[in-house]
Amino acid sequence: MTATHDLGTSPIATTDIFRSVFRRHASGVAVITARGSRPVGFTATSLSSVAAEPPLLSFGVGTDSSSWPVLSESEYVGVHILGEHQRELAATFARSGADRFGPATRWHSGPEGVPVLDGVLAWLVCRLVARIPAGDHRVLIGEVTTGTAAGAGRPLLYHQGRFNTLRD
């Protein structure tokens, strides 16, 4: 049996409703990095756990992103969980045209040559195992090869179009 609803009005455009709903969904903030001829990275709020065995995660990236050409060919990526003290770092990696690996960004070359950001709550290096077309994005699946959760602090969140923190 299928239920139908007559709302008596025309529906809001699907894209508008989608954006409105996901503005209400709080998510963690991560930075994804990769190394090509130069390091690249972007702020991601689409990070998700996929499986524990083997350890897999996913994230989305726009195909018009300046990072996509490198990510489309990279074998490994870095995944960094940001702390509430890293709003500016999140904003830098979210801003188009920003010097993301300039003097203000503390980082080093990590396993597999992946750029690893310093001072984050946790980081992982993942081998990319899939790139799945999804509209104007690609969903990338990474298998975790190494990392650490040794950072201290509270996570940075994204909600209602802004970076936020947890409240007690």
The tens digit of pLDDT for each residue in 45-99 reads 999 999 999 999 999 999 999 999 999 999 999 999 999 999 999 999 999 989 9
Kindly report the pTM of this predicted structure: 0.88
> How many C-beta atoms surround the C-beta of residue 88 within 10 A?
11
**Pairwise CA distance, residues 116 & 54, whole Å:** 22
CATH topology of domain 28-154: Pnp Oxidase; Chain A (2.30.110)
Beta strand ranges found along 27-151 (DSSP E): 27-28, 30-35, 39-44, 48-52, 55-62, 76-81, 107-109, 115-117, 122-134, 137-148
* pLDDT score at 12: 57
| Residue 21's pLDDT band (cuts 50, 70, 90) | confident
Q: What angle do CA 70, 71, 77 make, to 5 degrees?
A: 115
The answer to whether the beta carbons of residues 45 and 30 sit under 8 Å apart is yes
Which distant-in-sequence residues (6+ apart) come within 8 Å of 83 by Cβ?
119, 120, 121, 151, 152, 153, 154, 155, 156
Tell me the three state secondary structure of residue 71. Answer: helix
Provide Rg for the chain, Cα atoms.
Answer: 17
